[in-house]
Amino acid sequence: MTRIGIIIGSTRPGRNGEAVARWVHDIASKRGDAEYHLVDIKDFDLPHLDEMAPPSLGQYTQPHTLRWAEEIASYDGYVFVTPEYNHSTSGALKNAIDFLYAEWNNKAAGFVSYGSVGGTRAVEHLRLVMAELQVADVRAQVALSLFTDFENFSAFKPGAHQVDAVNTMLDQLTAWSGALATVRADTTMATAQSGT
């Protein structure tokens, strides 16, 4: 069955991201079309990138990198739950993404963002990053407003219509996650046949 990781993109004490990610996970888990798992980058204690070789070479040495790589490799697709910090994503999420390369390749991603204008500027930046990692990012996204989907910018009370937005994004994400598994199988086969 397709496996989707729902990645909590904030590590800040008192973060809103955890409640948002748990809400996405609750909606997703009722669908029955994929296995959905919460992935909290906080649990991986990643320092600022501390690998000698560029991640695209796959020469990981640090135990935290290997553990993070094993987790990310286990999924067919991802939901990035991202805050907007200074019109981009969080440094913690960008750093966690930067640690790896092949583990992201030929997978799919969808976005759930939050901020004063729904975190949409953070997602636009993430879409550029996804292109470099060969991740197919779906069009539908969930943009949660700090003004109308939260009380006092901190108690998460999403509008009822946002559930439909999550499901539309997940419809696209599961379709592409399944399709790209075929691409990965072809790539693995081609690599094995060429002996590289």
Ligand X SMILES: Cc1cc2nc3c(=O)[nH]c(=O)nc-3n(C[C@H](O)[C@H](O)[C@H](O)COP(=O)(O)O)c2cc1C
Chain residues that interact with ligand X, rule: CB under 6 A: 10, 12, 15-17, 83-87, 115-117
Torsions phi, psi of 111, nearest 5?
Answer: -130, 140
Minimum distance between the CB of residue 61 and ligand X, rounded to whole angstroms?
30
Toward ligand X, which CB reaches closer, 66 or 117? 117
CA neighbor of 42 nearest in space, from 96, 78, 123, 80? 96
Closer of 69 and 79 to ligand X (Cβ): 79
- 77-83 sheet: strands from edge to edge: 35-40, 3-8, 77-83, 107-115, 135-145
d(C-alpha 108, C-alpha 176), whole Å: 6
Nearer to ligand X, 138 or 144 (CB): 144
> Is the Cβ of residue 86 or residue 196 nearer to ligand X in the bound state?
86
Helices (runs of H) and strands (runs of E) counted in the chain: 5, 7
Q: Are 103 and 56 in contact (CB under 8 A)?
A: no
Q: Minimum distance between the CB of residue 155 and ligand X, rounded to whole angstroms?
A: 11
